[in-house]
Every structure is written in structure tokens, then in C-alpha cells.
Amino acid sequence: MPVATLEVIDGIGLITIDSPPVNALGVDVRRGLDAAIRESLAADDVNAIVLTCGGRTFFAGADISEFGKPLERPDLLEVLATIENSAKPVIAAIHGTALGGGCETAIVCHYRIAVPSARVGLPEVNLGLLPSAGGTQRLPRLVGVEQAMEIVSGGAPIAAPQALELGMVDALAREGQLRQDAIAFARRILQEGRPLVRVRDRQELVAAARGKPEIYAKFLAKNANSFRGRRAPFNIVKAIEAAAELPFDEGMKREAELFREVHDSAESAAQRYYFFAERDTARIPDIGNDVRPLPVKSVGVIGAGTMGGGIAMNFLNAGIPVTLVEMNQAALERGLATIRRNYESTAHKGRMTLEAVEKRMAAITPSVDLAAVTNVDLVIEAIYEEIGIKKDLFARLDAIVRARAILASNTSFLNLDVIADATRRPEDVVGLHFFSPANVMRLLEVVRGAKTRKQVVATAMSLARTIRKVPVLSRVGYGFIANRVMAARMAEADSLVLEGPTPTEVDRAIYEFGFAMGPFRMIDLVGLDVIGRDSDERTLAGDLVKRGRLGQKMNGGFYDYDEKRNPTPSAVAAEVIAEFAASKGVRNTGPLQADEIVARLLYPVVNEGARVLEEGIALRASDIDVACVLGYGWPVQTGGPMFWGDTVGLSRIVEGLRARGVRPANLLIEKAANGGSFTR
């Protein structure tokens, strides 16, 4: 099949590009598009051109795998120049997602028509990049400088109806009728003799922002928190400022310079790596496409607490009915009320209708009788973390659910194989480890027990996508992947504050590295009584709990809090830390530089990641990165712990660990010695 086809329908040249899966603008697509446009321009029987794509989407952007490689011609700018300068009107007909270079192709056309379900946007920032085919120069001319900054630095796609309001598209087609409606639209343009609109020539919106540097300063100040530690958003703002300040062609040159800067950055290399890493998690070497997932049309959730309720919401959101079981009516009603409250709060923010809230609530079958789950396809247990209680529940479930129903545990730390062996069907037992809040966090660790059969694993992996999660496969091991490797950070943080650096200094270093908050702020938020409650060992958090300090929720923890929950250093915590250090005989060696704190806390995470790989708990290093980015907010611009470890250099990490008396994992030593890496 050729990539590009041209049909002439009564004076309209219909170009269809078809390059599965997403019509990325790689060299073959650029060549095909260029040739089809030139052919249409040369054809006497073509008066207007409609550009559309086959398959599931309009162009999803540049081909990300081409970045960092020598570019083959024609480049996208050359193809777009031919479209823009065409003497015949070119109309983009959009379905699916017009993203990045795809959106830039659409906005270089003279007109745009989209089906209502289409989305358009410039997500380059998610790859640590900025648009480089004129997006930063043309979008402000369509929607204004401020709106353009929001769209390009945020990277989120915009639904077609909103894009119409903003001026990014000119008309909506009927769903499923794009081709006909686009051709009719093209005819109307010809009949009405409408002018060829070149977005580059539009001046009003950019002229309105000219000579107003305060616009950009204000925008950067407003987003200081989320832009921290990144380069792409700053270059995006500079490029958009250039759109307002410079003539179009000079603005394009500025965009190219700013793009080159970010293209060569470690941040973009990390984010491009991460893009593919998130998609690789679904590949399981011994489970091919011939293993078909089982249908999951109904789900039972046991436990309506915070986790159970959040888990249930994922399925309700995906249109899958949920039977929700609790031990008594009061707990059940509390759980239902929380789910309702969460939905209503989303509705109040305008993100769903009250009708949709009722529809989702109606899809719940509440019950205090375990027998209510007898006929569901999948049961997920989200009850108290205690092995005896879980074994008992699984044995009871085993006795009542139908043959081949899947039994899943949401355990975070317990041994799934022991739970599975409490049933007569361990091959149908799997771990589905959600992260809290379960309706929000995108990570789902799928835990493959020693006996879990392939079809059950395949079902869990595919189900994750249905509920819009990213699945990461883990074997059974204490803490699975994300909790286990990130626990190494907490352990180091605890021992570091005994030596002099304060919780504030430690948290600041980790925040500046790019995490949303440092480990002490996090533990205060989660609750000091929650973390480590299953251990008898004396800990700093345990000592604080003994003083009645449970964290933000009660009397403060490592910090004191005012009524607005602003933290300040705590004298009591300092005293507890000093006493603890004295009891362990740890000497105060004074403060450390931020980079030393980062190394001290995060080298052990890389080390633990190496062990997780060595033990075969994770399939690949990039899976560990995805788990930490999605489960713990590890800053994606560093790629995740394993990619970051490679960036730092594995020999340096080995030396750093040894200097602290920590034994590096064998795999880490081996890779460091042969100049190997985890992710490159």
C-alpha cells in the first residue's frame, strides 16, 4: 500500500495518508505527502485540496524515533512551506489526534475541519522539546500569546469543540462523516471565493502582545513550581515571545535555535526514552499476542475503604459495573459516600455532569454478603494488610466464585504466592497493586505469582489499559518494584538526618531535584503511624508517634504546621532526631551540599533497582523507571532512577555507595566494570 493516495472528486483533490499505527511524520510519510501535494498542485482538475489520514488518527506528530539521528529530506518545514504557499486552498480534515508536527501541519493549512471526537495539541514539552515546525509562531497568531503559552507549555491535547472556540479549527464535521463534510467544506470555500488564509500573515493577536515583557514574566512566575528543573517550558515561552516581537521568518529562526538547545539536552533524551519505556511495559517476553486476554465485564471489590473505593472508581469510569462488599452496613455506607463525594467534587469542577455521577453510582451493587461476587469475572481484594486475614478471604472466595474467575489481591507487601496457595486455583490468582489515590495514580503493578497462568497475566495487563493505567509487571518480592526501590531513599533520609542535615535541607535538595516534595514532607502527609506500622524496629517516625506526632493530620510530624498546612521546622522533631542519634552513637558531621544529599539518597535507589533486576522481580530497567515516575513522581526529566543512574555514571555510583559502606549489587558492579548501562 502506498503511504499517500490522491483521489480527485469533482474538482477536489483528496489526499489520504496511511501509515499505521499513528501516521507519524517519518521520512516515508513526508515524502508521500510532499509528492501528493505537488501532484495536486500540478493537476488542472484539482481546485482545492483536502488533506486527511487513514487509520485511527490524523498525524500524531514527528516520528519520535528519528530524533537524534541524521534527518532525511524533505524535512517537515519544506513540506509545510509547499502547503502554505499553495495557490489552491488546502483543508486539513482531522480525526483522532493531531499532535505535535501533526497539529503544525494542520495549522499551516488554509482551513481546518475536525470531527467532534478529535483532539489537537502540541505535546512536545512532554518529550522535553518545543514545536519545531512553526507551532510556536503560528499558534499565537491563532489563539493569542497567553493561550498559546498555556497550550504549548502544558502539552495537553484540546478537544475539537474547544479548539473551534479557540480558533484552532474552523468547523466541525459530523462524527463518521469527515470525508464528505471536508469535501463539502472545500467546495463552499471555492464557491464563496474565500481567501487563502495563511496563518503566518495574521497579525492582530501577536501585535496585541508586542512590547509587553510582563506577560511572560507573569506566566513564568505562575508556573514556577511545575517548570522547576526543566528547560523546555522556558524555551517555549521564549519562542512564543519571539512570535510577538519578531517578523514571522525571524521568529521561525528563533524557534529553530531554541529547539536545538532542548533537542540536545539530557532532559529531552530522558523524556524521549521515557515515552517508549511507558509503552514497552506491555511487552512480556514469554506471553505473545496469541495469548488472548479474558473478557472482564464485571468486577467485585472487597473492602470499601480508601483503596477499595478508589479501585472501584476506575472500573466505574470505564463503564464496568462493580459489586462492592464490606463487612458491615456502616462501613459500606461510608465507602459509598466517599465515592459519591469524589464524583460530586469532580462534577462541581465542571469535569463531569451530575447525570454521569448518578450513572456511575448506579453501576455499584453494594453488599455486606461475600456471596454477592459469585458471578463476577474478577474479584479484587483491598482489605487490611495481614496475611492470615487475606488467606482466609481467598479461601472463602475460592469456594464461591465461578470457575476461571480471576482472584486479585491489592497487597503492597505480602507474599502473593502464600495468598494464592490458600485457594485451589493459584493459577487464577494475580496481584493488582494500585497506588493511592487509586482513582488518580496511573501506575498499576501487576504481580505475577509463581503459578499465575499466562492468560491471567495477559488479562491483567490489558485491563490496566482499559482503566487507563500503565501496567508494570512484577514478580513476587517484598514491596514489589516501586515501594521497594523507593524505600531505599527513605532509609537513607532517616540515617542522614542523624548526621546533621535537617529534614528541611534534605527535602529542599530532593524538591530541587524535581520531586513534588521531599521524603519528610511526604511521610508527614501520609501519616507517621501508617509507614512502618508492621515493624517492631525503633524508627525516627516511631519515636515521633510516641510523642503524639502523627504528621500533618495530628500535631505535626517532622515539621510543625500552621492552619494553612504550611510547614516550619519543628523543635520537637529536632530533639527527637538528636536523641535518636545519641542513642545510636551517630556523630553530627554538619550540613551537606544539595548534590551530596541527592547522591546519598538516590544512589541507593539505583542500587536497589539493580537488585530488583538481578532477582528477576522486574523484567527490564525501564519498567523500574516507569514505576518510580508514575508511582512516586520521580522527575520524568531525569528519565527515572535507572536512566538517571546511567547519566550519572555507574562507576561513580558504585564508588559513592562503597564510600558509605553500602555493598553495591553485583549487577551494578558488573555493569560499572564493563562500561555497561541499564538503559542505553
Distance (Å, whole) CA 354 – CA 347: 6
Contact segment (CB under 6 A) with ligand 3HC among 45-53, 124-132, 171-179, 474-482 equals 124-132
- CA dist 301 and 303 (Å) reads 6
DSSP 538: -
With CB under 6 A as the contact rule, the residue among 13, 32, 123, 303 that binds ligand 3HC is 123
Min CB(63)–ligand 3HC separation in Å: 4
Least distance from C-beta 240 to ligand 3HC, angstroms?
14
Q: Which is nearer to ligand 3HC, 100 or 640 (CB)?
A: 100
Q: What is the DSSP letter of 316?
A: H
Q: Computed from CA positions of residues 41, 44, 50, 56, in that sequence, does the dihedral angle turn out positive or negative?
A: negative
Residue 230 or 453 with smaller CB distance to ligand 3HC: 230
| Contacting range for ligand 3HC; rule: CB under 6 A; set: 60-68, 392-400, 563-571, 593-601 | 60-68
Binder among 14, 90, 91, 99 for ligand 3HC (CB under 6 A): 99
**Nearer to ligand 3HC by C-beta: 61 or 656?**
61
Is 76 one of the binding residues for ligand 3HC (CB under 6 A)? yes
Question: Of all residues in the chain, what percent are helix, strand and coil, respectively (each to 5)?
Answer: 50, 15, 35
Distance CA(151)–CA(121), nearest Å, equals 7
> Contacting ligand 3HC (CB under 6 A), which of 34, 63, 84, 625?
63
Cell numbers 509545510 correspond to 80
Can you tell me which of 47, 97, 265, 622 binds ligand 3HC, judged by CB under 6 A? 97
Give the span between the Cα atoms of 434 and 631, in whole angstroms: 9
Sheet holding 4-9, edge to edge: 4-9, 12-17, 48-53, 90-94, 111-114, 171-172
* Residue closer to ligand 3HC (CB basis): 12 or 29: 29
Q: Does 61 bind ligand 3HC (CB under 6 A)?
A: yes
Dist CA 661 CA 314 (whole Å): 44
- Binding segment for ligand 3HC (CB under 6 A), chosen from 80-88, 96-104, 158-166, 174-182, is 96-104
DSSP of 565-618: --EEE-HHHHHHHHHHHHHHT--------HHHHHHHHHHHHHHHHHHHHHTTSB
CB closer to ligand 3HC out of 62 and 463 = 62
Please indicate whether residue 104 is annotated as part of the active site: yes
Residues 447, 475: contact at Cβ < 8 Å? Answer: yes
To ligand 3HC, the closest distance from the beta carbon of 469 in angstroms equals 12
Cα dihedral 639, 643, 647, 652 in deg (nearest 10)? 130
Nearer Cβ to ligand 3HC, position 99 or 597?
99
Q: Which of 2, 7, 38, 65 binds ligand 3HC (CB under 6 A)?
A: 65
- Smallest gap from Cβ 473 to ligand 3HC, in A, equals 15
Is 64 among the residues that bind ligand 3HC (CB under 6 A)?
A: yes
Integer CA distances (angstroms), 599 to 350, 602, 608, in order: 43, 5, 14
Residue burial 151-184, b: 16+ Cβ < 10 Å; e: rest: bbbbbebbebeebbebbbbbbbbeeeebbebbbb
Q: Which of 7, 39, 84, 124 is catalytic?
A: 124
Q: Which residues inside 38-57 make contact with ligand 3HC, applying CB under 6 A?
A: 57
The 3-state DSSP class for residue 398 equals helix
Quote the cell numbers at residue 640: 527515572
Segment near ligand 3HC (CB under 6 A); pick from 132-140, 379-387, 487-495, 562-570: 132-140
Q: How far is the CB of 390 from ligand 3HC (least distance, A)?
A: 34
DSSP-H helix ranges across 113-174: 135-143, 145-154, 160-166
Q: Please answer whether residues 146 and 191 qualify as being in contact, where contact means their C-beta atoms are separated by less than 8 angstroms.
A: no
- Residue whose C-alpha cell is 495557490: 87
Interaction of residue 60 with ligand 3HC, rule CB under 6 A:
yes
Q: Give me the helices (H) in 349-475, please.
A: 354-362, 387-400, 416-420, 454-466
Interface size with ligand 3HC, residues (CB under 6 A): 24
CB atoms within 10 A of CB 376: 23
The 263-282 contact track toward ligand 3HC, x by CB under 6 A, reads ----------------x---
Count how many Cα atoms sit within 13 Å of the Cα of residue 414 in the half-sphere of its side chain.
24
Subset of residues 176 to 205 that bind ligand 3HC, contact rule: CB under 6 A: none
When binding is defined by CB under 6 A, the residue of 22, 109, 364, 461 that contacts ligand 3HC is 22
When the beta carbons of 101 and 664 are compared against ligand 3HC, the nearer one is 101
Least Cβ distance, residue 232 to ligand 3HC (angstroms): 11
Closer residue to ligand 3HC in complex, CB, 55/633: 55
DSSP conformation class of 370: G
Task: Give the type of residue at 554.
Answer: M
Nearest distance, CB of residue 411 and ligand 3HC, angstroms: 29
Answer for which of 100, 300, 518, 542 binds ligand 3HC (CB under 6 A) is 100
According to CB under 6 A, which one of 19, 40, 47, 132 is a site residue for ligand 3HC?
A: 132
* 344 alpha carbon, distance to own chain's centre: 25
Smallest gap, in angstroms, from Cβ of residue 569 to ligand 3HC? 42
Min dist. Cβ of residue 136 to ligand 3HC (A): 9
Distance of alpha carbon 472 from the chain centroid: 13
* 519 Cβ contact list (under 8 Å, min separation 6): 489, 490, 493, 506, 507, 510, 601
Instruction: Look up cell 500533618; give the residue.
Output: 552
Task: Please state the closest distance from residue 277 (CB atom) to ligand 3HC, in A.
Answer: 10
**Residue 430 sits in the site that holds ligand 3HC (CB under 6 A):** no
Q: Are strands 567-569 and 559-561 parallel, antiparallel or unpaired?
A: antiparallel
Nearer residue to ligand 3HC within complex by CB, 77 or 491 = 77
Piece of the chain touching ligand 3HC by CB under 6 A; list 83-91, 126-134, 407-415, 604-612: 126-134
Q: Is 178 helix (H, G, I), strand (E, B) or coil?
A: helix
Candidates 3, 12, 15, 24; binder of ligand 3HC (CB under 6 A) is 24
Catalytic residue flag (residue 124): yes
| Closest CB 100 distance from ligand 3HC, rounded Å | 2
Shortest approach of ligand 3HC to residue 102 CB, angstroms?
A: 7
Q: How far apart are CA 621 and CA 623, in angstroms?
A: 5
Q: Which of 39, 84, 104, 165 is catalytic?
A: 104
Span interacting with ligand 3HC, options 41-49, 58-66, 315-323, 549-557, rule CB under 6 A: 58-66
In the complex, minimum distance from the CB of residue 65 to ligand 3HC, in angstroms, rounded to a whole number: 5
Position 636 contacts ligand 3HC (CB under 6 A): no
**Cα dihedral 51, 53, 59, 60 sign:** positive
- Maximum pairwise Cα distance, the chain: 90
Taking contact as CB under 6 A, which single stretch among the options 1-9, 131-139, 602-610, 652-660 is the one that binds ligand 3HC? 131-139
Catalytic residues: 104, 124
Binding site for ligand 3HC (CB under 6 A): 21-22, 24, 57, 60-65, 76, 97, 99-101, 104, 123-124, 127, 131-133, 135, 279
